[in-house]
Every structure is written in structure tokens, then in C-alpha cells.
């Protein structure tokens, strides 16, 4: 009897300890700022300063958030001269973040509300899915356009894609054949680079579409990717 009581206590302690450990991951994921950092790191490795400026945080604050992500083993860091370069710890982290995001999209009405509020024009632009793009690539004449900053293209891109960062697109329009269908993609469903690209292309008479997802989702689905600069 006494034995049982003790054993009960031990089991409770075990469960408390165990779930408290798992909760560390939850705590790391419980801040919008940190999720934004993960989303940025899903594109490529970045220094603290780059992250701070992209996420509109002070460097010290950003560094602190990164320490929290690191304590939960969600990101890893390497030293490169003067810089600390952060990246997602591994593919499992990307998978967790994507399924986390997917759950939010599917179940939190507020997410769709926020997206609709800010991205009103999104509906008008027909988006095509990864599978549809694969199908088109086999049969049609399609140009796949990566409009992210060039470093992100270099860190990894859809195998068939060519890079024209959104900031350069207007100047470099003549590189794109008028005859082809254009499919533009960027960082993911909450990035507006591809929206802007499609808008610009259509204004200039192209037949352009947005890819529904971005590069991380494509990669996670196991579809063909490549790294390095444009050949």
C-alpha cells in the first residue's frame, strides 16, 4: 500500500517532468515574433542582423528570441567570421512548422480573416498548386519564376525555375518570352512577392499565375529542387 503510494508519486513526477520537457518546444513556438523568425529561416540561413531587420526587431531582442529557439533545439547556429549564422536545426523542424501552420490555416478562423483583410486582391489571382505545375511542366511551355531575393534562390529553388527578384522584375522583363505562361513563386502563402510579380506581368500583357505555395512547401513535398546560382 505504502509502496503503491510512492510508486504513484514517482509516476506523477515522471509525467510532469516529461511533458514539461515537451512544453519547452511549445513555449518556443508561443511567440509570433519567433514564428516569423522560423518562417524566415525556412528560406535560408541568416545572420542575427539580417533577421532583426527583416522581422523589425532590435538586434538584442532578436538575439534573445534566437536563444530561446536554440534552447528548444529548433534552430542551430554556426560562427562565420564576425557573424553568427542561424538556420533551422533540421528537416523535422520545417515539417513541424509547416504542419503547425497548416493546422492554423485549417482551424483558426482568425487566420483566414487576417489574410482576407490584408490580401484582398489575393482571390482575383488564380493560384496553381504544386501538382498542377508538375503537370504543366510536362506538357506545356511554362516559365517558372522565382521572385525571391537572389540569395534565397541560391540557397535552394524549384529545379526548373529561373531567378528574377521582384525588385528587378520591371527592368528585366525583356528576358521573359511573351509567348510563355509564367508561374511565379516566392517564400510561401503569406509572402506577397509573387502577388506583386503576377500583377506586374499581367499589366505588361503576360499570362501569369501565382504558385499557391512557396519553396519550403515544394521541398517538403519531396519535389525536385536545386541549389546554386543560375546556370
Partner DNA sequence: TCATTATTCAATCAACTACTTGAATATATG
Partner DNA sequence: CATATATTCAAGTAGTTGATTGAATAATGA
Tell me the per-residue interface mask from 158 to 197 with its own copies, x by CB under 8 A, - otherwise.
Answer: --------------------------------x-x-----
Q: Are 96 and 81 in contact (CB under 8 A)?
A: no
CB 50 to DNA: min, Å: 7
Residue 227 sits in the site that holds its own copies (CB under 8 A) = no
Interface residue with DNA, options 8, 61, 112, 230 (CB under 7 A): 61
Q: Are 111 and 105 in contact (CB under 8 A)?
A: yes
Site residues (CB under 8 A) for its own copies, limited to 202-221: none
Residue 82 sits in the site that holds DNA (CB under 7 A) = yes
Q: Are 230 and 145 in contact (CB under 8 A)?
A: no
**Which of DNA, its own copies, none does residue 64 bind (CB under 5 to 8 Å by kind)?**
DNA
Burial of 27 (0-12, 13-18, 19+ CB in 10 A): middle
| CA proximity to 205, closest of 182, 184, 186 | 182
Q: Are 180 and 142 in contact (CB under 8 A)?
A: yes
Q: Are 75 and 86 in contact (CB under 8 A)?
A: yes
**Which of its own copies, DNA, none does residue 81 bind (CB under 5 to 8 Å by kind)?**
DNA
Using alpha carbons only, what angle is made at residue 60 by residues 56 and 66, rounded to the nearest 5 degrees? 80
Catalytic pick from 161, 186, 191, 208?
186
Quick check: is 62 catalytic?
no
CB 225 to its own copies: min, Å: 22
Interface residue with DNA, options 38, 41, 57, 147 (CB under 7 A): 57
**Candidate segments 103-111, 126-134, 150-158, 164-172, binder of its own copies by CB under 8 A:** 103-111
Phi and psi torsions of 87, nearest 5°: -145, 165
Q: Which residues contact 23 (CB under 8 A, 6 or more apart)?
A: none
Edge-to-edge strand ranges of the sheet holding 181-185: 127-128, 207-211, 181-185, 142-146, 162-163
Which residues are catalytic, by number?
186
Chain residues that interact with DNA, rule: CB under 7 A: 27, 30-31, 33, 47-49, 57-61, 63-68, 77, 79, 81-85
Chain residues that interact with its own copies, rule: CB under 8 A: 10-36, 39, 56, 72-73, 89-90, 92-93, 95-96, 99-104, 106-108, 110-111, 114-115, 117-119, 190, 192
Amino acid at each position: 500500500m505504502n509502496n503503491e503510494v510512492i510508486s504513484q508519486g514517482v509516476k506523477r513526477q515522471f509525467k510532469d517532468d516529461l511533458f514539461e520537457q515537451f512544453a519547452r518546444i511549445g513555449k518556443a513556438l508561443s511567440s509570433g515574433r519567433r514564428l516569423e523568425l522560423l518562417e524566415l529561416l525556412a528560406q535560408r540561413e541568416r545572420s542575427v542582423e539580417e533577421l532583426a531587420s527583416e522581422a523589425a526587431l532590435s538586434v538584442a531582442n532578436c538575439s534573445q528570441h534566437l536563444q530561446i529557439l536554440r534552447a528548444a533545439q529548433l534552430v542551430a547556429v554556426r560562427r562565420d567570421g564576425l557573424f553568427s549564422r542561424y538556420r533551422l536545426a533540421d528537416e523535422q523542424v520545417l515539417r513541424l512548422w509547416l504542419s503547425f501552420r497548416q493546422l492554423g490555416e485549417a482551424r483558426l478562423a482568425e487566420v483566414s480573416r487576417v489574410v482576407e483583410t490584408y490580401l484582398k486582391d489575393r482571390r482575383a489571382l488564380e493560384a496553381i498548386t504544386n501538382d498542377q505545375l508538375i503537370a504543366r511542366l510536362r506538357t506545356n511551355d511554362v516559365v517558372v519564376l522565382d521572385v525571391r531575393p537572389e540569395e534565397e534562390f541560391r540557397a535552394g529553388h524549384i529545379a526548373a525555375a529561373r531567378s528574377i527578384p521582384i525588385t528587378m522584375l520591371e527592368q528585366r522583363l525583356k528576358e521573359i518570352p511573351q509567348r510563355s505562361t509564367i508561374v511565379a513563386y516566392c517564400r510561401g502563402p503569406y509572402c506577397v512577392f509573387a502577388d506583386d510579380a503576377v500583377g506586374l506581368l499581367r499589366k505588361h500583357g503576360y499570362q501569369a499565375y501565382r504558385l499557391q505555395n512557396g519553396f519550403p512547401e515544394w521541398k517538403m513535398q519531396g519535389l525536385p529542387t536545386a541549389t546554386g546560382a543560375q546556370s
